[in-house]
Chain A
Amino acid sequence: MKRTIRSFAVAVAAALTLSACGGSDTSTDSADGASDEPSSDGGTVAVAYDLGGRGDGGFNDLAYAGAAAAAEAQGAEVTEATAQETDTDQDRAARLELMAESGANPVVTVGYLYATALTEVAPKYPDTWFAIVDDATVDQPNVVGLTFAANEGSFLVGAVAALESETGSVGFIGGVDTELINEFEAGFVAGVEAADDSVEVSSSYLTQPPDFAGFNDPTRGLESANGLYDASADIVFAAAGGSNAGVFDAAESAGTKVIGVDSDQYETTEAPLNEVIISSMLKRVDVGVQTFIESVADGSVEAGERRFDLSTEGVGYSTSGDMLSEETISAVDALAEQVISGEITVPTTVG
């Protein structure tokens, strides 16, 4: 008891320092491509990241990739800022106001947590275009909601898992048990069922909100994956952001397979670890952000929800590494056609 008390004052300070050291080194350099050109006539593109920020190896990085590509083409600069754990809606609003105030246009907000703040800020800057990723609730004449049919992409990798599984059992790992990730699970389960309804699916989430550690905790990813692999699953779809690295490690030791998420993780993961990644569910946040910035530049932008789905290749699945059989690919592509044509409607909620 006393020992605990003793070390406490130091522990508070240490925890603060550690959390600082643990933070990713995000915003040190702005737009790699664009900053080479000193005359940035193309103006400034601002990106406000969700928790985790740039360097998360997923969602936020994809948004940056899209912004950087579009900015480079226009000779624009990219400025960035990252959300903090203790942020209130006022803090988020202050971040966006600061960006708009500094003359950035457009401003991209990454993640639905910015919705309330954006609703407040957007009317104050009617000449600035804003986009918000993963949300369609901000109804303003200068806001575009970039949403992705994650259920459709997950549906396809569900079919991949069912067709490639040898044990007849597959697994799903979600980073944090939010509605957004539930949609991945729902699509995956439906995909497994559509391809082979004898295959069983077990699901697990790493953390519950507001604990968002599940998106950035490889150790928990590893433990959870070990649990699924021990219980006879031989393929796991991991939609857990930075925690996916742990799932890859678990698959490598167990000799089993993984399906990655967001980006083509076979390409973004170091060899030989990437040999366990047979496919990735692609959620092209980069395409969404890039399309938005380009549409602002050429004046074709329209306010409202802009949904990226299978038909517009905003979501999909990857075949890098050539680990899928011909039969699987043709069967999955056939299912994709049925989704696009509307023959199959993929659910967005589980059960």
Chain B
Amino acid sequence: MSAGTLSGRLDALVRRVVSPPRLTSLALHLLAVGIALVFAVIVLAGILAAYGTAPSAVIEVVGEYALTPAGWVAMVNKGTTYYLAGLAAAIGFRMYLFNIGIDGQYRLGVFAAAVVGAAVGLPMVLQIPLLVLTACVVAGAWAAIAAHLKASRGVSEVISTIMLNAVATGVIAFLIAPERFGAAEEGSNNTQTALMNESGWMPAIHVPGLGEVYGFTVVAVLVGVLFWVVTERTRFGFEQRASGAAPRAALLGGTDPRRMVVLTMVASGVVAGLVGLPELLGATSHRYGISFPAGLAWVGLSIAIVGRNHPVGVALGALLWVFLERCALPLDLIGIPTEVVAVVQATVVLAVVTSYELVHGMSERSARRRAAAFARGRADTTEAPAETAAESPAEEHA
């Protein structure tokens, strides 16, 4: 095989990995994810067996701890954060953009919201939208830097967003000093902002029999719905997919791919700005500090891949991720290293990619067979070789 075809095949593979599912092949997608999960469970059982732990003991721990009312609430709350990170990544994936800057965008956004929330005390109906707006504008503006570099100078967003994460870390470290926007507390070593005004504390939703779910979870669900409407039902969503899939063709069709790059990257950043808000508005501390989670870009990108960029898939991916992490807590106490969970998460990502290839291969072969049969039927009258005819139907699935 020549280098050219290999690179072509790899490109097609990556595009399949990050492209959204079509309804026509929904069953195949479900099959792919199912295969991946079975594989991941087998790997987990293997690792645990190597540790000398009976998988039944683990199932017991999981049943008694993770799948309990308190467990569900905790998973939904943490899952809200992961879901928003996954959606932010999925927006970028629509145009094959890898927004690794989710981490820096989210931290700058939530930091700005925390500072505004401490300085301004409007009534709650105005205060919470103000905080959301602040986080989104700051995070979106930060993403716009990478978007501009990409559109005007062709700088890879992978490189620029990784670097901008480091810059964001430095900017926050500078601004969070007690003589600027930080607040030193007697006897504490935590670096954090001042306590927010109470009008910015978003009320939790009391679910009878379960517990307190973050109010921001509702917002996250609405963002998921909005994501679906925009990507599937608007001209913008179509143009986005078109210019991501074939920039030149889209250009001829009147869509400026560079404009789409900027809009997509900024939209991804705006959603990334929401990532820290469930924690800031809903958790008990109501400050931004160094106790906020790090590394959420990787979490978001992984979840978007597992969820196939579909808002429902991303939600399921986020729940799977927090479920695995929830299981890590009791496993840690019975002496199973928490790294096991990271291994399983990595296996899920790889398995989804692999099984999707498998399923894609299956559908391609069946398409090819159908096409070949069709071509044979016509071969009696024309001299067209079967292979050429088989190419076009197969491509539809790419």
Which residues of A approach B to under 8 Å, CB–CB?
A: 1-2, 4-6, 8-10, 12-17, 19-21, 23, 25-30, 46, 79-82, 84-92, 94-95, 98-99, 102, 112-113, 115-116, 119-120, 134-137, 145, 147, 177-180, 208-211, 305
- In the complex, are the beta carbons of A20 and B346 less than 8 A apart? yes
Which residues of B approach A to under 8 Å, CB–CB?
A: 7, 10-11, 13-14, 17-18, 65, 74, 77-78, 81, 96, 98, 107, 154, 156, 158-159, 166, 169-170, 172-173, 184-191, 279, 283-285, 290-296, 298-299, 301-302, 305, 325-326, 328-330, 332-333, 335-340, 342-343, 345-347, 349-350, 353
Instruction: Report the Cα distance A80→B77, complex, angstroms.
Output: 25
- In the complex, are the beta carbons of B290 and A210 less than 8 A apart? yes
- Smallest CB–CB gap between B339 and chain A, Å? 4
Check A208/B169 contact, CB under 8 A, given A6-B14, A90-B74: yes
Which among A25, A27, A85 is the interface contact of B332 at CB below 8 angstroms? A27
Which among A16, A21, A85, A98 is the interface contact of B302 at CB below 8 angstroms? A16
- Smallest CB–CB gap between A92 and chain B, Å? 8
- In the complex, are the beta carbons of B338 and A28 less than 8 A apart? no
Which among B78, B333, B353 is the interface contact of A81 at CB below 8 angstroms? B333
Q: Which residues of B contact A46 (CB under 8 A)?
A: 333
Further pairs besides A8-B158, A86-B295, A95-B329: 16, Cβ < 8 Å: A1-B156, A6-B7, A9-B17, A14-B346, A17-B346, A20-B342, A23-B338, A27-B332, A89-B285, A91-B325, A94-B74, A112-B189, A113-B190, A113-B290, A137-B185, A211-B169
- In the complex, are the beta carbons of B190 and A112 less than 8 A apart? yes
- Smallest CB–CB gap between A304 and chain B, Å? 10
Instruction: Report the Cα distance A179→B296, complex, angstroms.
Output: 25
Top-8 shortest CB links A-B: A136-B187, A16-B346, A20-B342, A208-B173, A180-B189, A20-B339, A209-B290, A17-B346
- Smallest CB–CB gap between A147 and chain B, Å? 7
Q: Which residues of B contact A305 (CB under 8 A)?
A: 187
Instruction: Report the Cα distance A177→B170, complex, angstroms.
Output: 11
Q: Which residues of A contact B330 (CB under 8 A)?
A: 98
Q: Which residues of A contact B11 (CB under 8 A)?
A: 2, 5-6
In this complex, what residue of B is CB-closest to A17?
Answer: B346
Check A98/B329 contact, CB under 8 A, given A25-B337, A86-B299, A179-B191: yes
- In the complex, are the beta carbons of A98 and B333 less than 8 A apart? yes
Q: Which residues of A contact B339 (CB under 8 A)?
A: 20-21, 23
Check A6/B10 contact, CB under 8 A, given A81-B332, A137-B185: yes
- In the complex, are the beta carbons of A85 and B294 less than 8 A apart? yes
Between A and B, 27 residue pairs with Cβ closer than 8 Å are: A5-B14, A12-B298, A13-B347, A13-B353, A26-B337, A27-B336, A27-B337, A79-B333, A80-B332, A81-B333, A85-B293, A86-B325, A88-B78, A88-B279, A88-B292, A89-B283, A102-B333, A113-B190, A113-B290, A116-B284, A135-B190, A178-B191, A209-B191, A210-B292, A210-B294, A211-B294, A305-B187
Q: Which residues of A contact B184 (CB under 8 A)?
A: 179
- In the complex, are the beta carbons of B332 and A5 less than 8 A apart? no
- Smallest CB–CB gap between A116 and chain B, Å? 5
Which among B81, B98, B173, B342 is the interface contact of A19 at CB below 8 angstroms? B342
- In the complex, are the beta carbons of B187 and A147 less than 8 A apart? yes
Check A112/B188 contact, CB under 8 A, given A4-B158, A6-B10: yes
- In the complex, are the beta carbons of B335 and A13 less than 8 A apart? no
- In the complex, are the beta carbons of A15 and B189 less than 8 A apart? no
Instruction: Report the Cα distance A8→B17, complex, angstroms.
Output: 10
SS of B interface (majority)? helix
- Smallest CB–CB gap between A104 and chain B, Å? 9
Check A178/B189 contact, CB under 8 A, given A13-B350, A89-B291: yes
In this complex, what residue of B is CB-closest to A91?
Answer: B78
Q: Which residues of B contact A5 (CB under 8 A)?
A: 11, 14, 96, 98
In this complex, what residue of B is CB-closest to A23?
Answer: B339
In this complex, what residue of B is CB-closest to A209?
Answer: B290
- In the complex, are the beta carbons of B329 and A87 less than 8 A apart? no
- Smallest CB–CB gap between B21 and chain A, Å? 16
- In the complex, are the beta carbons of B190 and A115 less than 8 A apart? yes
Instruction: Report the Cα distance A13→B346, complex, angstroms.
Output: 5
| Most central of A2, A5, A147 by chain B CB within 10 Å | A5
Q: Which residues of A contact B166 (CB under 8 A)?
A: 211
Q: Which residues of B contact A26 (CB under 8 A)?
A: 337
- Smallest CB–CB gap between A79 and chain B, Å? 5
Which among A28, A89, A98 is the interface contact of B65 at CB below 8 angstroms? A98
Check A135/B188 contact, CB under 8 A, given A9-B18, A86-B299, A88-B292: yes
| Most central of B291, B325, B326, B330 by chain A CB within 10 Å | B291
In this complex, what residue of A is CB-closest to B284?
Answer: A120
- In the complex, are the beta carbons of B296 and A86 less than 8 A apart? yes
Q: Which residues of B contact A120 (CB under 8 A)?
A: 284
Instruction: Report the Cα distance A95→B345, complex, angstroms.
Output: 20
Instruction: Report the Cα distance A211→B107, complex, angstroms.
Output: 12
Q: Which residues of B contact A179 (CB under 8 A)?
A: 184, 189-191
Q: Which residues of B contact A85 (CB under 8 A)?
A: 293-295
Instruction: Report the Cα distance A307→B333, complex, angstroms.
Output: 29
Which among A6, A23, A91 is the interface contact of B337 at CB below 8 angstroms? A23
Instruction: Report the Cα distance A85→B291, complex, angstroms.
Output: 9
- Smallest CB–CB gap between B178 and chain A, Å? 8
Q: Which residues of A contact B107 (CB under 8 A)?
A: 210
- Smallest CB–CB gap between B53 and chain A, Å? 11
Check A16/B291 contact, CB under 8 A, given A82-B338, A86-B296, A98-B330: no
Instruction: Report the Cα distance A167→B150, complex, angstroms.
Output: 50
In this complex, what residue of A is CB-closest to B282?
Answer: A90
Instruction: Report the Cα distance A179→B192, complex, angstroms.
Output: 11
Check A30/B335 contact, CB under 8 A, given A12-B298, A208-B169: yes
Q: Which residues of B contact A6 (CB under 8 A)?
A: 7, 10-11, 13-14
